[in-house]
Structure formats: C-alpha cells, structure tokens
Structure 1
Amino acid sequence: MITNISLLSLWVKDIDESLAFYTDVLGFEAGDDIMLGPDFRWCTIKHPKQPEIHIHLTTPAGPTLPDYLIEAMNRAQDEGGLPGIGLNVDDCRATYEDLTSKGVEFLQEPEDRPYGVEALMRDNSGNWMVLVEPREYTPEDFEGADLG
C-alpha cells in the first residue's frame, strides 16, 4: 500500500544554480548531493516543514533520455513552458513582495481566487510555479468566478 509521496523530480537547466535559487531565494534546505557515476548527479532539496518530501533537481540529459527528448525539454525550458511545483504560503502578497525584491520573475501578481490568493512565478530554469495562500472554499465559490 502506498503511504505517502517521498520524491518529486524537477527539470532544471543547471543543478548548481537551481540549488542556490531554491535554498538561498526560496528557503529550501539542501538534501543529498551525490555523484552516481561520471554522468549522473543526485541532488535533492527539501522544505524545512516537509523534510520527508525530497525534490530531485535534474537536467534533461543522457544516457537515460534520447537526444530528441533532451532537445525538446531544453526548448520547453527556454520558452518557460514546463510546470514546476505549487507552494502554499501564509501571506501571498508579502511573499510576492519579498521574492520580487530578490529578482524573481512573476507572471501574475497576487490575485484573489475562490480558493485563496494566488501568484504565478518562474524559477531560474523557467519552470512556472504557483504560490497559493489557501482558504476554505466550496464548489459554489467557483460559480461565475473569473480565473483569468
């Protein structure tokens, strides 16, 4: 029986730069950082409030991915077309101000939604990430809602 989620992978352009972004800018903690052979680096981060969930920072590279897929992934990263992760925040507007002051690119400023306050940003690899200050909602809260 599955008991929980323990690991997610996130495609990044440069592991060192992404490790610094997620730890120095977003406040994650470094996890494992191990070379497994000459061509594969196992590097993870975790959030201090959820240390049981590891996020594996990985680049689209061989030998496990074919060249055509690596090229497609790199294009998608360059175009900012890859989804990243969703993050809950306690104050979306304050988090937006803090991260904006650190140079984080936002695609959408904080906006009220039926489920909370939401902002959309990019990490330093172009992955889009959603920040949500959640609140209680019902299905009726979505009737006639403009979700942009």
Structure 2
Amino acid sequence: MPFLGLVSIVVRDYDAAIAFYVDVLGFELLEDTRLDDSKRWVVVAPPGAQETAVLLAKAVTGEQEARVGDQTGGRVGWFLNTKAFDRDYTRMKAAGVMFEEAPRHEPYGTVAVFRDLYGNRWDLIQLSQTTAPETSDDAS
C-alpha cells in the first residue's frame, strides 16, 4: 500500500534547521548526506515515526527563498500529533518554541498553533479518542 514518505520544508540554512527540528522540537536526525558543495539530503522525523519524515530542503533560487517561512500562505501546513499533549507542549515551550495561542480544546482534540524557526505554522495536536484512528497495541 502506498504511503506518504517525505514532505519538504524549504529552509535557509541546513544547520540552523537541523538545530531547530532536533534540539528544539525533539525530532531525530535520520540522514544528513552531502550531495555536492552546496546541497545536502537532510531528513528529520519525530521519534518513533514509522512512515512520514521531513526533508529539509535549502532554498537555492530567489523564488524558493521567497517562500521560506510562508510555504502554505499563512495556513497551518503541518500537524505534529502527540499522545501526551501536556508533556510535549510544556517541553516545547521550555525549549523555546513560540506558540501563537494557549492550548484549546476542540471536538477533534487538544491543539495549539506554533511556528517553526522560519515562521511556518504547525499544529501540536492530540486527537480525541473519537477522531483518533484505531491502532493495535502491538504496532508500536
């Protein structure tokens, strides 16, 4: 069955992006391979992610540079799911993540919007039991 393997986020600097996603958000650095003098293949993912990861792609054209930090036109573009919202929200705030709002409770779960180091908007979200997909206990 096909699955979404990578999503790209255009960044200004590989090392600054790695530092934010790994040291601040707590992602794991899965790969950092130099492809040539200016291009690297950099992949990060939340701990334990099974399928989808993030490719940190350095902007190389003026058009790409103009999109850094606003890749979705101001909308939330990425959703970081958690099963321990309070723990992750507290850890992320302590690490310097800038949340736009206090956590709020919606019919679909608990959520708070934050921005990455370039200004892209993300949701930290814990889905409610009624909207969370069924998972097997032995799948993790």
Normalising to structure 2: TM-score of the pair?
Answer: 0.78
Q: Is the CA contact (8 Å cut-off) linking 1:105 and 1:121 kept in structure 2?
A: yes
Shift of 1:91: 2.8
User: What letter matches 1:132 in structure 2?
Assistant: I
Q: 2:121 aligns with which of 108, 115, 128?
A: 128
* Structure exhibiting the larger radius of gyration computed from Cα positions: 1
**Which stretch of structure 1 is more off in the superposition, 114-123 or 31-40?**
31-40
- 2:67 aligned counterpart, secondary structure: helix
Determine the C-alpha separation between the residues in 1 that align with 2:21 and 2:111: 20
- 1:95 aligned counterpart, secondary structure: helix
Determine the C-alpha separation between the residues in 2 that align with 1:99 and 1:24: 10
* Aligned residue number for residue 56 of structure 1: 55
Q: Percent identity?
A: 34
Count of equivalent residues: 130
Determine the C-alpha separation between the residues in 2 that align with 1:21 and 1:71: 18
Alignment of 1:11-50 (within 5 A): 11-50=10-49
What are the Cα deviations for residues 92-117 of structure 1, in whole angstroms up to 9, with x where unaligned? 23322221111110012110000010
- 1:20 aligned counterpart, secondary structure: helix
The 1:75/1:87 distance shift into structure 2, 3 A limit, reads closer
Shift of 1:53: 2.5
Aligned CA-pair RMSD: 2.3
* Aligned residue number for residue 89 of structure 2: 96
- 1:109 aligned counterpart, secondary structure: coil
Determine the C-alpha separation between the residues in 2 that align with 1:3 and 1:137: 26
Structure 2 unmatched ranges of 5 or more: 132-140
Shift of 1:84: 4.2
Shift of 1:71: 4.6
Determine the C-alpha separation between the residues in 2 that align with 1:82 and 1:127: 8
User: What letter matches 2:40 in structure 1?
Assistant: R
Determine the C-alpha separation between the residues in 2 that align with 1:131 and 1:30: 20
Shift of 1:20: 1.4
Determine the C-alpha separation between the residues in 1 that align with 2:68 and 2:85: 30
Say yes or no: does 1:116 pair with 2:116.
no
Q: Is the CA contact (8 Å cut-off) linking 2:111 and 2:124 kept in structure 1?
A: yes
